[in-house]
Amino acid sequence: MWKKPIFVLVIMCLLTPGLGHGQDAKKALAGVTKAMGDVKSLQYTASGTLWQLGQSAYPGAPWPRFNIKSQTRAINYDTASMRDEVVRTQGENPPRGGGIQPIIGEQRQILLVSGTYAWNQAGENAVPAPAAAADRLQQLWLTPHGVMKAAIAHNATVQAQTEGGKKMTAISFAVPGQLKVKALVNENNLIEKVEAWSPNPVLGDMLTETTYTDYKDFGGVQFPTKIMQKQGGFPTLELTVSEVKPNESVDIQVPDNVPQASVQVKTDKVADGVWYLTGGTHHSVLVEMKDHLVVIEGPQDDARATAVIAEVKKTVPNKPIKYLIFPSDSIT
């Protein structure tokens, strides 16, 4: 006699929309946005520790560490632009690995991105940094308010989840070809953790884990005062936020020389059958063998790799590239 009620219950479960669909998802996303405070722009100041991704001294070692004396990040979500002004000092003595060290005294960096363009500010000069655009945009959209804007724009799904014994709401979405994201929301409708998978030229599909804690109210906007991030399995960021200014005027204009910049490869012959390929921040060596070519230190982004291959073919047009050699610190 239980068959009919059970059958009806199964049909009802199948026909009832899940939490991650339609109006339920929209309502949940709107609730989180309201709780955190909707903003068009944001500026925050922090200090802490930075570990330089991909620059460890040997395979399997943590990324090299630096002290962040101050970091001021200004974001305009409407224009997808961001400006980081960082003052950092040496964190390890003796220095280990890369990341432009050792640092004597203080080093000031100004790093910018707007849409698909990225550049560094050196005095009055803008230095194009095309390989950095994807990484900087990722950091923009992985901020708590950025995650919600990206989630709404990419039709996120929402479902209940238990994390560390706590009941959470998981917001999931994908940006095709760029990011796959899951954000965990606590009972106060605040973003507590963000897991993002993105392509990395060395590590492959790389997981970036960002944890946000100790939220405080800044002019009606909730923002975390503790930020911790791991990339590729090792810590990359630990910040204590001291000041937040919501809806500050953030106007970041792309300098004229940045869109016009193209990847340049300069070839210098250093010996018979050996060439040094420069022209950017990443250098390679071409070695000519009897019936093939060897490239040492392969470029780490598609644009640079394409330009180097073209230059190799131009330099030695009748032989194929048969081997590509990566030094050990390029595959950590």
Which of 54-63, 167-176, 279-288, 297-306 has the largest mean confidence? 167-176
Nearest in space to 323 (alpha carbons), one of 331, 312, 315, 314:
312
Contact (Cβ atoms closer than 8 angstroms) between residue 73 and residue 84: yes
pLDDT at 5 over 70: no
Domain end among 246, 271, 289? 246
- A 10 A CB-CB count for 162 gives 9
Measured distance CA(169)–CA(32) in Å, rounded: 10
Measured distance CA(308)–CA(310) in Å, rounded: 5
CA distances from 141 to 1, 98, 161, 263 (A): 55, 27, 22, 27
Measured distance CA(15)–CA(23) in Å, rounded: 15
Ranges 114-128, 291-305, 308-322: which has the least confidence: 291-305
Residues 103 and 138 in one domain: yes
**Which whole number is the average pLDDT over 257-273?**
86
Residues 160 and 38 in one domain: yes
Question: pLDDT for 309-329, tens place per residue?
Answer: 889 999 999 999 999 887 544
Checking DSSP bridges between strand 107-114 and strand 81-90, what pairing results, if any?
antiparallel
Q: Is the pTM of this model over 0.85?
A: no
Question: pLDDT for 170-180, tens place per residue?
Answer: 999 999 888 99
- Number of independent structural domains in the chain: 2
pLDDT at 287: 95
CA distances from 271 to 36, 286, 288 (A): 61, 11, 10
Q: Return the SS3 of 309.
A: helix
Domain end among 188, 212, 246? 246
Q: Please report, in angstroms and rounded to a whole number, the separation of the first and last CA atoms in the chain.
A: 64
Residues 164 and 281 in one domain: no
Helices (H), 173-271: 257-260
CATH number for the domain that contains residue 193: 2.50.20
pLDDT at 238: 98
Residues 224 and 86 in one domain: yes
In a domain, 231, yes or no: yes
Residue bearing the bigger pLDDT, 307 or 73: 73
Residues 288 and 187 in one domain: no
Residues 202 and 285 in one domain: no
Contact (Cβ atoms closer than 8 angstroms) between residue 18 and residue 24: yes
In a domain, 208, yes or no: yes
List residues bridging with 165 in a β-sheet: none
Domain that holds residue 321: 262-330
Ranges 57-61, 118-122, 170-174: which has the least confidence: 57-61
pLDDT at 12: 37
Q: Name the average pLDDT for the chain.
A: 88
